[in-house]
Amino acid sequence: MESLEGMTCGVDNHDPECLCDVVIREVTPINIHAVQGMWMGQEVADANGYENWDDPEELLNYLCDVLFLHDCLDFRSRYCADDDDNHEALRPFQLWAKVRDSVLQRMTPEGATIRAVLESLGYTAEQFSRASTMGRYSFTMDELEQFESQVMGAPCADRILAGRFGITKSSAHNLKKYWPNRPTSGVYRGQGQHPYQLRMRELIALGKRPKEIVGILADEFGVTLTRSAVSAVKRRTSDIRSP
For 93-110, what is each residue's pLDDT tens digit?
Answer: 778 888 888 898 888 777
Nearest alpha carbon to residue 53 among 151, 45, 192: 45
147 pLDDT band (50/70/90 cuts)? Answer: very high
Q: What is the mean pLDDT of residues 33-61?
A: 78
List the end-to-end C-alpha distance of the chain, in Å, as a whole number: 58
On average, the pLDDT of the chain sits at 77
Q: State residue 156's pLDDT score.
A: 74
User: pTM of the predicted model, to two decimals?
Assistant: 0.48
139 pLDDT band (50/70/90 cuts)? Answer: very high
Q: State residue 217's pLDDT score.
A: 82
Tell me the Cα Rg of the chain: 25
77 pLDDT band (50/70/90 cuts)? Answer: low
- CB 135, CB 149: distance < 8 Å: no
Give the residue ranges of DSSP H helices in the chain: 41-48, 56-79, 85-106, 114-121, 125-132, 141-151, 158-165, 169-176, 195-205, 210-221, 227-241
Q: State residue 3's pLDDT score.
A: 45
* pLDDT > 90? residue 24: no
Q: What is the mean pLDDT of residues 207-236?
A: 82
167 vs 198, which has greater pLDDT? 167
Percent of the chain with pLDDT over 70: 78
174 pLDDT band (50/70/90 cuts)? Answer: confident
Distances in whole angstroms, Cα of residue 168 to Cα of each of 7, 61, 138, 161, 181: 56, 8, 13, 9, 22
Q: State residue 186's pLDDT score.
A: 46
145 pLDDT band (50/70/90 cuts)? Answer: very high
1 pLDDT band (50/70/90 cuts)? Answer: very low
Q: Is 126 exposed, middle or buried (0-12, 13-18, 19+ CB in 10 A)?
A: middle
Q: Which amino acid is at 42?
A: Q
Q: What is the mean pLDDT of residues 32-60?
A: 77
Question: How many Cβ atoms from other residues are within 10 Å of residue 63's Cβ?
Answer: 15
